[in-house]
Amino acid sequence: MTGWAYNQVSEIGLAVPGCHVWGQLACEHWDCETQTRRELVEPSSGLSTAHEKLHEVVKDLRLDTECIYAKSHSLAFLYPGNTDQTVVERLVSELGDIAEAAGDLTLLQDRGFVKLAPAGLDKKVALQRILKECVPFEPSVIMDVGDMPDMVIMEELDRTRREEGIPTLKVGVRNLQDGVDLVLPGPPRGVLPFMRALRDAPTR
């Protein structure tokens, strides 16, 4: 499961044989067996308007509009970690209003980024559903890998390990060590080379 769209995963060479991809936090599923992609969640009808408004808000706050990422189901904006807290609060407030006006969007927030996603989307619920309904075997380990720590997912992995006894591995970059088990160098030497090495690893 990834916040990236399936086509992004494919472009960087990680949609490999035997690998199911739940893109955009389980809004879409790439089935490696049938080689087909299907939408699990309908895109928001207000996404296009929300994109325009998000661009205006980011520009008004004198943040970088190049850091807006539009996908088929969501809009994400990444901002520097040293952004003034009052600016972050205004950004979150404005995006909350945009989501409310759209009616079928929700605001997700984590360290360094905000996202407008389909209403009802919950990363914890998505992860639980994938593990219980979509994975046809008992996983030997559940791994989270990313340049930025996803605190929601990491907390859910901790709960899964604690309550269900499934081993977990949390991988992060060297300058973001909060709660991770394995530390990698920062981009471009860390996460993608690690994932590509796993792609070529032998499987049982």
Residues of the chain with pLDDT under 70: 133-137, 148-149, 174-178, 187-188, 199-204
CATH 3.30.1240.20 occupies which residues in the chain?
A: 47-118
Strands 75-78 and 68-70: antiparallel
From 3.40.50.300, 3.30.1240.20, 3.30.1360.70, 3.40.630.30, which CATH number describes the 47-118 domain? 3.30.1240.20
Task: State the amino acid at position 36 in one-letter form.
Answer: T
Report pLDDT for 178: 67
The pTM (predicted TM-score) of the whole model is 0.65
- Looking at residue 164, its pLDDT comes to 87
